[in-house]
Amino acid sequence: MNVLHVTLVYVVWFLVTFFFLVSALTFLKHRQQFYVIPPSTEGTPFVSIVVPAFNEEAGIADTIESLLEIDYPKNKLEIIVVNDGSKDRTSEIAGKYAAEDKIVLINNEKNMGKAASLNIGFEKARGKYVACIDADTVTQKDVIKKTINYFKDEDVAAVIVRITVRNPKNWLEKIIAVEYNLGLGFYPKIFSSIDCMYLTPGQFSIYRRDKVLAIGGFQVGNIVEDLEIAYRFQKAHYKIACCVMTGASTKVPNNLRDLYHQRKRWYSGTIQTLLQHRDVFFNRNLGNFGLFFIPFNYGTTALGLLLFFSTTYLFFSNAHMVYSDLSLINFDIFPSIKNFITHMALDPLSIGMLSLLAVTPFVMNLMACYVGMKMMGEKIRKNLFGFVAFLFFFLPYHVFWIIALYFVVLKKKVRWRASM
């Protein structure tokens, strides 16, 4: 076990360090373009916004209101709400806006799933460009104006924006706020510059309609349709651009139960999609995406999980030994603690190779988080708790990955959300 553990430490260290350095070098190379938006050449094309909604009575009105306030000619913008068989007041709330001709409301007779609802919205949409937004998300007013110009590159199939957490209040929302700033803002911007975008966030993304239709729309039944479509974009050699100068804010889980269900869906869906599109691994035709991003990102995740297993095993194995030792002295630990405190000496020579290897990825992650937050214009001291806690939040995420793997291997059904 020790040999396996040590081997994993070395391998994961090399993968993590290499991945970090590629990200850092890419960032340094493209940092001048970080905030640059392509100049306007598109004019004001017609844009449709599709809002799939299932049991969203709590947030749908805010979403529609924010869309109505978008700074874009009203005669060039349509809002399509697809009520996906909701059993609550979603249809009634959206219906009021439809009655005033502010939106188009489509009611699915039965729940068909998010991907199917998006496809229905795309069929109905008249715009050359179609934005999709979750019904618990609100956008910035300039979200269309700042993203539309990216489409002047004919290869761009989608533009993603920065996703932030809406009014983070409790401890979990504050941690996720940091995660979103980095994972749905800073890193996508870096990876988009080497065509390695692996996601068009469901919270808000804007698509070129004909390219989506050309690849067959969203995959019905896939629980991470926003990830899956990105893989097909990559395979079709379409680009996904990223604009961090505008964005959308969304609700996130504010308790561990909801987080568990959300991550179980995300990670199970990711594993299923990777299995479905396993031909992307080491695919020379996909360049950086196939030869670097996918193998290194998910290779590191997989080996990181094995390392997590071995570390957990060794931890409990050591804990068992400590328990066994303590049982021999009737658990009279106070003399030992007193002796430890009395003779406590900071000995830098006690730092071994494995400790040194463990420290460096942590330092690199700290640096990346710091730079990422700064680049996203966030003040770290305003959410110091979230920043510090996020650095250690990889531990529960590993547990979620293991659970997701369990669900996929046993082919268990993963629900969209906890309350369904």
- Looking at the Cβ atoms of 97 and 293, the one nearer to other proteins is 293
Size of the site for other proteins (CB under 8 A): 44
Q: Does 344 bind other proteins (CB under 8 A)?
A: no
Token digits for 363? Answer: 């330092």
Residue with Cβ nearer other proteins (43 or 352): 352
For other proteins, the closer CB: 14 or 385? 14
* Stretch touching other proteins by CB under 8 A, among 110-118, 206-214, 251-259, 341-349: 341-349
Question: Using the rule CB under 8 A, is 4 a contact of other proteins?
Answer: no
| Region from 136-144, 208-216, 331-339, 401-409 binding other proteins, contact rule CB under 8 A | 331-339
Q: Are strands 204-208 and 156-165 parallel, antiparallel or unpaired?
A: antiparallel
β-strand partners of 247: 162
Closest separation in Å from C-beta 371 to other proteins: 17
Interface with other proteins in residues 280-319 (CB under 8 A): 284-292
- Min dist. Cβ of residue 3 to other proteins (A): 10
Of the candidate residues 69, 336, 366, 385, the single one contacting other proteins (CB under 8 A):
336
Residue (334 or 419) nearer to other proteins, CB: 334
Q: Does 324 bind other proteins (CB under 8 A)?
A: yes
The reply on whether position 341 binds other proteins by CB under 8 A is no
CB-wise, 357 or 402, nearer to other proteins? 357
Q: Could you give the CA distance from residue 168 to residue 224 in angstroms, rounded to a whole number?
A: 24
Closest to other proteins by CB, 362 vs 385, is 362
Report d(CA 392, CA 420) in Å as an integer: 30
CB of 18 to other proteins, least distance (A): 5
Q: Which of the residues 15 through 44 are near other proteins (CB under 8 A)?
A: 17-18, 21-22, 25-26, 29
Q: Please pick, from the candidates 221, 339, 374, 391, the single residue that binds other proteins as defined by CB under 8 A.
A: 339
Q: Which of 79, 115, 85 is nearest to 98 (CA)?
A: 79
- Work out which of 214, 256, 321, 367 binds other proteins, going by CB under 8 A: 321
From 52, 271, 250, 290, select the one nearest 164 (Cα to Cα).
250
Residue 417 · residue 272 · CB < 8 Å: no
Nearest to other proteins of 239, 263 (CB atom):
239
Q: Is residue 320 part of the contact set for other proteins (CB under 8 A)?
A: no
Q: From 130-138, 178-186, 322-330, 387-395, give the range in contact with other proteins by CB under 8 A.
A: 322-330
Q: Which stretch binds other proteins (CB under 8 A): 110-118, 330-338, 384-392, 403-411?
A: 330-338
Rounded Cα distance between 13 and 364, Å, is: 11
Asked if residue 248 lies in contact with residue 137, where contact means CB atoms within 8 angstroms, the answer is yes
- Quick check: 26 and 368 in contact, CB under 8 A? no
Q: Which is nearer to other proteins, 99 or 319 (by Cβ)?
A: 319
| Binding track over 223-262 against other proteins, x by CB under 8 A | --------------x-------------------------
**Of the candidate residues 75, 101, 332, 411, the single one contacting other proteins (CB under 8 A):** 332
Beta-carbon contacts of 396 under 8 Å, excluding residues fewer than 6 positions away, are: none
Q: How many CB atoms lie within 10 A of CB 175?
A: 25
Among positions 152-211, residues that touch other proteins (CB under 8 A) are 194-195
Q: Which residue type does 17 have?
A: T
Q: Which is nearer to other proteins, 364 or 405 (CB)?
A: 364
Least separation in angstroms between residue 21's CB and other proteins is: 4
Q: Mutual orientation of helices 60-68 and 90-99 as an angle, nearest 10°?
A: 30
Site residues for other proteins, 351-380, by CB under 8 A, read 351-353, 356-357, 360
Q: Are strands 47-53 and 129-133 parallel, antiparallel or unpaired?
A: parallel
Binding site for other proteins (CB under 8 A): 2, 6, 13-14, 17-18, 21-22, 25-26, 29, 194-195, 237, 284-292, 321, 324-325, 328-330, 332, 335-336, 338-339, 343, 348-353, 356-357, 360
